[in-house]
Amino acid sequence: MSPLITPAELADLGEVTLLDVRGGITGPPGSVLYAEGHLPGALFCDLDADLAAAPGPEGRHPLPSAAHFQAAMRRLGVSAGRPVVVYDDAGSTIAARAWWLLRYHGHPDVRVLDGGLPAWRDLGLPVVKEESSAAPGDFVAVPGGLPVLDADEAAALAASGVLLDARAAARYRGEVEPIDPVAGHVPGAVSAPTTDNVDPDGRFRPPADLRARFAALGARDGVAVGAYCGSGVTAAHEVLALELAGVPAALYVGSWSNWVADPSRPVATG
């Protein structure tokens, strides 16, 4: 089963748990966007409150504890026996974090709405402003469903396999750093911006195109692959794109914000 779902497929899916995960580092809060209009039945899922622990040395968006994540998902009506569809309006960059966390914690049926809310609107499908509600779910969060990396493992992978840097190329090169205190990249990492995973309309490129893209970067069958970004959010988008390409990949959850928290770790530029 594909990790993606089209708006037309979603409209015909039947019973499903819908999570609106819009909002992020810049722009209006996701709760404001949700109140302005969302898919019928969707509940708002907050990146910072529901999909991450408090920022600190582990990064700006560390993994939430299994107990915290389970409570958040149950509050949003998530159950193991019902499909979950997540969406945003930013090329699935935030939705991929929710997809990854649910998969990591053992949910068997999670999909990302390809193209998000804009694609839904493009088909003339309904959008509502009324806040949705759901009966509490019974989801049990069991960590370990997808591979993860810590800083040492990311460094080793950059040397022995392929570690993809999902941030903008200028951040990778160390020319700008709008968020974290140090600019640059993990030595040996390869620049692979998530913007190249999607078409201009925010839909993922076809799997064959993604396979060719990642193969050109060295990520192919038989090679250990991992991904990181600034705080482990858009890197989940890279992992999703790699899955579409048929390439399994680990996520460095702490990402650059965790890497630079230790001044003894080396930093590369250029």
Neighbouring residues of 77: CB distance < 8 A, sequence distance ≥ 6 = 17, 43, 134, 135, 136, 137
Residue 170 phi, psi dihedral angles, 5° rounding: -65, -35
CA-based max dimension of the chain: 53
Alpha carbons 150 and 143: distance in angstroms, whole number? 15
Give the CA count within 13 Å in the CB-facing half-sphere of 30. Answer: 23
Helix (H) or strand (E) holding 33, with range, is helix 30-36
Cα–Cα nearest to 53, from 42, 44, 61, 41 = 61
Neighbouring residues of 140: CB distance < 8 A, sequence distance ≥ 6 = 70, 80, 106
Active site residue 45: no
Residue 240 phi, psi dihedral angles, 5° rounding: -65, -45
For residue 180, the one-letter residue type is: D
Token couple for 220: 């192919």
* Options 43, 186, 229, 239, the catalytic residue: 229
Token couple for 212: 């060719």
Q: CA-based Rg of the chain, rounded to a whole angstrom? A: 18
CB 189 within 8 A of CB 166: no
Alpha carbons 32 and 29: distance in angstroms, whole number? 5
Which residues are tagged catalytic? 229
